[in-house]
C-alpha cells in the first residue's frame, strides 16, 4: 500500500520502509510529478514533465489543474471562472459534470486524474518490484462528498483500491508529528496553501494521539489564482499601454501563465521581477514583445484580497476548536504557495507567531499518507489519528430549511439520527433530500442525493415517526 498526494499542480507518492516514510522517485528521477496530461496528434498520451514540456506547442490538448473542478458541475461558478484562463476546452457531460474535450473525445475529470495516478502507481511498482494495488489518497480538508467520491473513482480507474481518503493538512500533521515525537500536549495549526486549494486544520497532539479539533478552507483558492492575477495584469498592460488588443489564444495563455509563475517565484527572493512575453503579435514591421517589471509591492497589491480570503477560515477554525491564537504552539506551513510573497505576513497576522517551515511543502502530504498506510497495516504502532467531518451533513425540511444531522468538525467515525414526521394528514410518502453545507437554507447547500420513502401508513400529520440516520466511516 502506498500514500499518494494527488495535487493540483504536482503529485507525489510515498511508501513506508522500516517504519520511515520514503518518497518514491518517478521514472524521470524526480520526487514529484506535474499533474499534467498531454494528448499528441498521433494519439499518444503524455503525463508529467514530458507533458509539461510540450504544452507550448500543444496547449489545447494539454490538461492541467483539473483537481479544482473534480466533483463539480459544468454550470458552477468555479467552472465558469476556470475557463477564463484555460487553454483547453471544458464541456458539459450528459449528467452535468465537467468534461475535458481533446481531439473530438471527451474525458471525465476522474479519468484525467487517473492518468496521473497510473504514472505514480507505475513508479511505485518499479521501485518496490511488486504490484501496487492499494493506496491512500489525500484530498483537501474541505472537499465535499462528490469531490471525495470522484477522487476515489480516479483511483479505481487507475487500478487502485482506495483504502482510505484522508485530508491533506491532517496528513501533513502526521508527517510533522513523526518528526517531533519528543513533543506532546501541543496544539498545531497546519496552514496549507497549494496550487489550487487552501486548507486550515487545528490538531491536538498528545502522546501519539493526533486529534483534529477543527478544519476549514476554500477548495477554489490557490497558487493558480495568484498566477492569474499576474496574467490579467499583463493582458491589461498589452491593451492599455501598448495599444494591443490581444486575442486570448491558447498559445498566449500558456506563455502568460509561464511568465506569471516565473515572476512569482523570483519575487520570493528579489524585489523586482522582469517579465518577457515574446511574439505577442507580428506585422510587416516585425514581432511585438511584451517586457514589463513587476515589483513585489505591485504583486502584493494584485493578490492582497486572495491572501485575505485565508483569514476568515482560520479564525472560524480557531473558534470551532474553542481556541485563541495564543493557544497554538506551532503553525506548520505546507503547500507550494507557501513560498509566495505575503503568505508569511498573513500567517503572522492571524496567529501572532512565526510559522514552522520544517516540512517539505511538496512532499509532506504524501509522506503523511504513507504514515497512515503504516498505521493501518500495523507497521506504525504509536500513532492514532482521529479526523473530523468536512461540511455539515443534513436534510431539507419544511419550507426549504436545512436541518443538520452531523455537524462539521464531528470526530469520525460517527453516526447521528433524528426523528421527523409528516406535514400533511394521511401523507404516505416523503422525499429525503440529503445536503452538505453550512447555510440554514437548503437551496444554498450542496445537494448530495434524493430518495423517496413510501408506504407510510395514513395518519394525522405529525403522528408518524420517521427516523433518519447518517453514518460516516473513516
pLDDT tens readout for residues 445-464: 999 999 999 999 999 999 99
What is the predicted pLDDT for the residue at 314? 98
* Between 189 and 103, the higher pLDDT residue: 189
Statement: residue 281 has pLDDT above 90: no
CA angle 307, 310, 311 (to 5 degrees): 105
User: Is 330 designated active site?
Assistant: no
Residue carrying C-alpha cell 494591443? 244
Mean pLDDT of 354-383: 93
* Topology of domain 223-301, CATH: Actin; Chain A, domain 4 (3.90.640)
CB 102 within 8 A of CB 88: yes
The one catalytic residue in 60, 97, 168, 363 is 168
67 is catalytic: yes
> If you compute the radius of gyration of the chain from its CA atoms, what whole number of angstroms results?
24
Over pLDDT 70: what percentage of the chain?
A: 95
Q: What is the pLDDT of residues 385-432, one digit of tens each?
A: 899 988 899 999 989 999 999 999 999 989 999 999 999 999 999 999
> What pLDDT score was predicted for residue 313?
96
pLDDT for 471 equals 93
* pLDDT for the residue numbered 381: 84
From the list 67, 119, 121, 264, the catalytic residue is 67
How many alpha carbons lie under 13 Å from residue 419 in its C-beta half-sphere? 4
- pLDDT confidence of residue 473: 82
SS3 label, residue 129: coil
Cα separation, 319 vs 322, in Å, equals 5
How does pLDDT run across 5-37, given as a tens digit for each residue? 999 999 999 999 998 999 999 999 999 999 999
Catalytic residue status for 168: yes
Provide the pLDDT confidence category of residue 442 given band limits of 50, 70 and 90.
Answer: very high
Domain boundaries in the chain?
2-221+306-388, 223-301, 391-472
The pLDDT value given to residue 382: 81
* pLDDT value for 246: 56
Residue 244 has pLDDT above 70, yes or no: no
113 contacts 6 by C-beta, under 8 angstroms = yes
Rounded to 5 degrees, φ, ψ at 264 are -60, -40
- 146-189: per-residue pLDDT in tens? 999 999 999 999 999 999 999 999 999 999 987 665 556 799 99
Q: Contact, 251 vs 257, CB < 8 A?
A: no
The CATH classification of domain 2-221+306-388, taken from the options 3.30.420.40, 3.90.180.10, 3.50.50.60, 3.40.50.1360: 3.30.420.40
Catalytic: 463? no
Query: 109: burial class by Cβ within 10 Å (0-12, 13-18, 19+)?
Result: buried
pTM: 0.91
Question: Mean per-residue pLDDT for 269-274?
Answer: 96
Q: Look at residue 114 in the predicted model and tell me its pLDDT.
A: 99
Q: Which of 153, 192, 330, 362 is catalytic?
A: 192
Mean pLDDT score of the chain, rounded to an integer? 93
Of 45-54, 179-188, 255-264, 434-443, the range with the lowest mean pLDDT is 179-188
Closest CA to 449 of 467, 432, 461, 465: 432
Which pLDDT value is given to residue 208?
A: 84
Please state which CATH number belongs to domain 391-472: 2.60.34.10
The three cell numbers of residue 279 are 511574439
CB 329 within 8 A of CB 321: no
Residue 143 in this model has a pLDDT that exceeds 80? yes
User: What pLDDT score was predicted for residue 278?
Assistant: 81
Q: Judge whether residue 436 has pLDDT over 90.
A: yes
Query: How far apart are alpha carbons 199 and 196 in whole angstroms?
Result: 10
Q: Is the pLDDT of residue 280 over 80?
A: no
d(CA 6, CA 3): 10
Q: Which residue has the cell 506532546?
A: 184
Per-residue confidence (pLDDT) for residue 445, from 0 to 100: 94
Contacts of residue 247, defined as CB under 8 A and 6 or more positions apart, other chains included, come to none
Amino acid at each position: 500500500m502506498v500514500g499518494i498526494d494527488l495535487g493540483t499542480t504536482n503529485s507525489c507518492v510515498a511508501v513506508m520502509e522500516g517504519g520511515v516514510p520514503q518518497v518514491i522517485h518517478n521514472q524521470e528521477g524526480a520526487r514529484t510529478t506535474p499533474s499534467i496530461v498531454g494528448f499528441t496528434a498521433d494519439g499518444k498520451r503524455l503525463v508529467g514533465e514530458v507533458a509539461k514540456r510540450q504544452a507550448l506547442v500543444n496547449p489545447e490538448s494539454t490538461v492541467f489543474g483539473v483537481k479544482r473542478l473534480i466533483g463539480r458541475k459544468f454550470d458552477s461558478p468555479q467552472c465558469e471562472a476556470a475557463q477564463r484562463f484555460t487553454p483547453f476546452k471544458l464541456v458539459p457531460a450528459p449528467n452535468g459534470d465537467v468534461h475535458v474535450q481533446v481531439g473530438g473525445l471527451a474525458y471525465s475529470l476522474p479519468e484525467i486524474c487517473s492518468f496521473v495516478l497510473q504514472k505514480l502507481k507505475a513508479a511505485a511498482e518499479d521501485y518496490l518490484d511488486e504490484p501496487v494495488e492499494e493506496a491512500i489518497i489525500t484530498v483537501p480538508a474541505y472537499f465535499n462528498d462528490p469531490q471525495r467520491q470522484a477522487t476515489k473513482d480516479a483511483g479505481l480507474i487507475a487500478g487502485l483500491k482506495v483504502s482510505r481518503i484522508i485530508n491533506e493538512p491532517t496528513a501533513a500533521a502526521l508527517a510533522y508529528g513523526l518528526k517531533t515525537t519528543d513533543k506532546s500536549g501541543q496544539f498545531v495549526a497546519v496552514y496549507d496553501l497549494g496550487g489550487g486549494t487552501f486548507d486550515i486544520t487545528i490538531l491536538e497532539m498528545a502522546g501519539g494521539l493526533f486529534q483534529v479539533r477543527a478544519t476549514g478552507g476554500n477548495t477554489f483558492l490557490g497558487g493558480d489564482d495568484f498566477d492569474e492575477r499576474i496574467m490579467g495584469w499583463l493582458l491589461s498592460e498589452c491593451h492599455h499601454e501598448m495599444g494591443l488588443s490581444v486575442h486570448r489564444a491558447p498559445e498566449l495563455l500558456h506563455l502568460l501563465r509561464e511568465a506569471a509563475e516565473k515572476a512569482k517565484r523570483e519575487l520570493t527572493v528579489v524585489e523586482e521581477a522582469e517579465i518577457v512575453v515574446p511574439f505577442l503579435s507580428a506585422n510587416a514591421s516585425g514581432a511585438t514583445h511584451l517586457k514589463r517589471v513587476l515589483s513585489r509591492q505591485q504583486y502584493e497589491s494584485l493578490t492582497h484580497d486572495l491572501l485575505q480570503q485565508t483569514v476568515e477560515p482560520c479564525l472560524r477554525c480557531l473558534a470551532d476548536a474553542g481556541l485563541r491564537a495564543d493557544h497554538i504552539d506551532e503553525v506548520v506551513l505546507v503547500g507550494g504557495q507557501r513560498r509566495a510573497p505575503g503568505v508569511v505576513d498573513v500567517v503572522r497576522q492571524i496567529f501572532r507567531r512565526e510559522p514552522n517551515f520544517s516540512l517539505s511543502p511538496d512532499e509532506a502530504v504524501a509522506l503523511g499518507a504513507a504514515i497512515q498506510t503504516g498505521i493501518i497495516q500495523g507497521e506504525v504502532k504509536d500513532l492514532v489519528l482521529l479526523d473530523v467531518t468536512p461540511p455539515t451533513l443534513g436534510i431539507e425540511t419544511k419550507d426549504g430549511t436545512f436541518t443538520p444531522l452531523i455537524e462539521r468538525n464531528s470526530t469520525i467515525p460517527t453516526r447521528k439520527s433524528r426523528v421527523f414526521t409528516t406535514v400533511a394528514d394521511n401523507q404516505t410518502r416523503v422525499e429525503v433530500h440529503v445536503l452538505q453545507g453550512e447555510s440554514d437554507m437548503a437551496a444554498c447547500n450542496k445537494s448530495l442525493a434524493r430518495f423517496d420513502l413510501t408506504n407510510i401508513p395514513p395518519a394525522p400529520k405529525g403522528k408518524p415517526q420517521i427516523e433518519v440516520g447518517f453514518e460516516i466511516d473513516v
